[in-house]
Amino acid sequence: MKTKAIVISGNGTNCEMEMAYACELGGFDQVDIVHISELLYGEKKLNDYHFLNLPGGFLDGDDLGSAKANANRIKHAVINNTGELLFDHFLQFIQQGGLILGVCNGFQLMVKLGLLPGFDQEYTVQRATLTFNDSGRFEDRWVYLKINEASPCVFTRGIEKIYLPVRHGEGKFVVENEGVLKKLHSHAQIVMRYTRTDYKEATGDYPFNPNGSVDAIAGVCDESGRMFGMMPHPEGYLHYSNHPRWTRERLPEEGAGVSIFRNAARYVRHTLL
């Protein structure tokens, strides 16, 4: 049986090609880039896949806040006059054990849909958001990330640290209240945090923390570890030549971002097939 990944495109996404290639490098047997309209018309179905990718971009131009318009669309859109909501298909996909990765705009989408942090398997209530960077500008730089090895996250198993690019204007992770932050910590759902160059202590200092996220949070998962959202772009580092210092440092040919997708493929192969 094939391992199958779906990458959603449309309405302003612009990283779908890189994300699909990352899935291929990670070991998925079949990778399809699917426009959201194909889901809405019933031409493609989420339950035909094991791994759902929500790539970065500028959904609806971010005119109502990053990914907010698309979150509303997904929550209320009816599939081809069937009476079935597209969002219900998302929830069914989760219930069937599928993996979801949201990167940058995809992370913003997951948070605004309520899929993350998903406390107690409650995937319909928004508990956090991602808002304007403290710098007041679009940040395009590389960041140092320490992985929480106690996290249940499927995607970061065996990874202690990682260096990846960020490209966003609204990447500041904030929570509804202190209770949400405490629960994220107690359930080890904070997967990765911004650090200085030594990958040790999390930092709020700019530019190492490029957006001012609370507790230097760069990515979170749900309690199952199967849904993961992150602001840095793993699909932006698939080959050593993607690295900003590739002409000055000796680097492995494979970029560190591939490991995120390889973990997803390994999980699907060992758990869902």
CATH label of the domain that carries residue 250: 3.40.50.880
- Among 50, 168, 187, 233, the active-site one is 233
Query: Which pLDDT does position 12 carry in this prediction?
Result: 93
Average pLDDT over residues 233-262: 98
Q: Is the pLDDT of residue 171 over 90?
A: yes
- Among 15, 16, 235, 243, the active-site one is 235
User: Is 187 annotated in the active site?
Assistant: no
Residue 146 lies in domain: 4-272
- What's the chain's average pLDDT? 96
Give residue 26's identity as a one-letter amino acid code: G
Average pLDDT over residues 146-172: 98
Q: Is the pLDDT of residue 66 over 90?
A: no
- Among 104, 139, 168, 221, the active-site one is 104
User: Is 235 annotated in the active site?
Assistant: yes
Name the one residue in this structure whose structure tokens are 């140092």.
144
User: Is 233 annotated in the active site?
Assistant: yes
Rounded Cα distance between 160 and 153, Å, is: 12
Global confidence as pTM = 0.97
Query: Which pLDDT does position 153 carry in this prediction?
Result: 98
Average pLDDT over residues 204-233: 98
Rounded Cα distance between 73 and 109, Å, is: 11
pLDDT tens digits, residue range 117-133?
A: 999 999 999 999 999 99
Query: Which pLDDT does position 273 carry in this prediction?
Result: 93
Query: Which pLDDT does position 62 carry in this prediction?
Result: 86
Query: Which pLDDT does position 128 carry in this prediction?
Result: 97
Q: Is the pLDDT of residue 249 over 80?
A: yes
Query: Which pLDDT does position 60 carry in this prediction?
Result: 86
pLDDT band at 111 (very low <50, low <70, confident <90, very high): very high
Q: Is the pLDDT of residue 64 over 80?
A: no
- How many structural domains is the chain composed of? 1
